[in-house]
Amino acid sequence: MIPVNEPLLDGNEKKYLIECIETGWISSEGPFVKKFEDELAAHIGRKFGIAVSNGSAALEVAVVALGIGPGDEVIMPAFTIISCAAAVIKAGATPVLVDCDPFLWTMDVGQVEEKITRRTKAIMAVHIYGLPVDMGPLLKLAGENDLFVIEDAAEAIGLVYRGGACGSFGDISTFSFYGNKHITTGEGGMIVTDDERIAESCRSFRNLCFQKEKRFYHEQLGWNYRMTNLQAALGVAQLEKLQLHTACKQKMGNLYNGLLEKIVGIQLPIPETDYAKNIYWVYGVVLKDSISLSVEKVMEMLGFKGVGTRPFFWPMHEQPVFQRRGLFVNEKYPVAERIARRGFYLPSGMAISGQQIHTVCETLTKIMGGE
């Protein structure tokens, strides 16, 4: 089986983990945590980094740290992972959706302005599958309307927008270091910001809102969302190889593009726009309408031949858990609905080999040719 993802751990990961064990620093108090925070923030071009237990935790802390709560609205894409909407709802606020671009798969910035109301508090920009949201016009719109910008860069570690690192835009940005990311700590996440007050608030919320003078006297409810020194040690080692990892991913994407370009029945990811080059966090494809095979059938056939796959995100307005809450009633987002039903991604982990990519492409070509 060619797995849909396999991480690459061939740097200083083992060395740094052994250091944690030998020194006894395995909890969130260990020195690698601050080192990882400082080095990632510096790499992105931010002043402050706050390490947390995962990317979903990063979003939840970011939303609350901005003071978003009941009565507020946050504009975000319909096509994204559920963590984005969940963070807003858990804070007591309301997610307001926009559709995505049919070719970039990121939020359609042109639809944002019409969704702004007097209750709008923030815009959540989510970079998707290796390409960024067009941040320039979004930041301009946010500035004109006095709105916060939350930048979800979980899938964009190493991605550059008009010369600036993704994660450097807006009031607050979040990352995930799950096993399929360009930098992985197994689980783990990070919040970055240039605002010291927001950074302090994030540190408090991730650590149960302990107080310096009266530790166990709580005026707010927070979470235990701390990152361990073991995780941070992996992160430091992975960050040392980020440039190489990004280059490997782009090489992978280019190889896939060349091998699959002759299949007329699938839409391939766009290699670049006028503001960014794709870093292929995952290599996604969308079946065109001319193909009668369902995504489920194609994925089943690939799996039978030993090729791992994963479906695209399912749109927020079609999530049963949100529908039961009375959210997004009668709302339609046709692009998100279509790519969710027709899209999937192929094996695209850091450790994938060129031979494995050739095998995947040969298998998919045979399946599509026999449709």
pLDDT computed for residue 369 by the predictor: 83
Are the CB atoms for 351 and 6 separated by under 8 Å?
yes
pLDDT computed for residue 371 by the predictor: 46
pLDDT computed for residue 370 by the predictor: 55
Which segments of the chain have a pLDDT < 50? 371
We find that the CATH architecture of domain 243-369 is Alpha-Beta Complex (3.90)
The distance between the two most distant Cα atoms of the chain, rounded to a whole number of Å, is 70
Closest CA to 206 of 189, 183, 194: 189
Structure letter (DSSP) for residue 311: E
pLDDT computed for residue 212 by the predictor: 86
Domain edges within the chain:
13-239, 243-369
CATH no., domain 13-239: 3.40.640.10
- The Cα-based distances of 246 to 14, 137, 173, 327 in angstroms read 21, 26, 20, 38
Task: Determine the Cα angle at 127 with ends 299 and 168, to 5°.
Answer: 150
Closest CA to 181 of 104, 257, 235, 113: 235
How far apart CA 173 and CA 159 sit, in angstroms, is 13
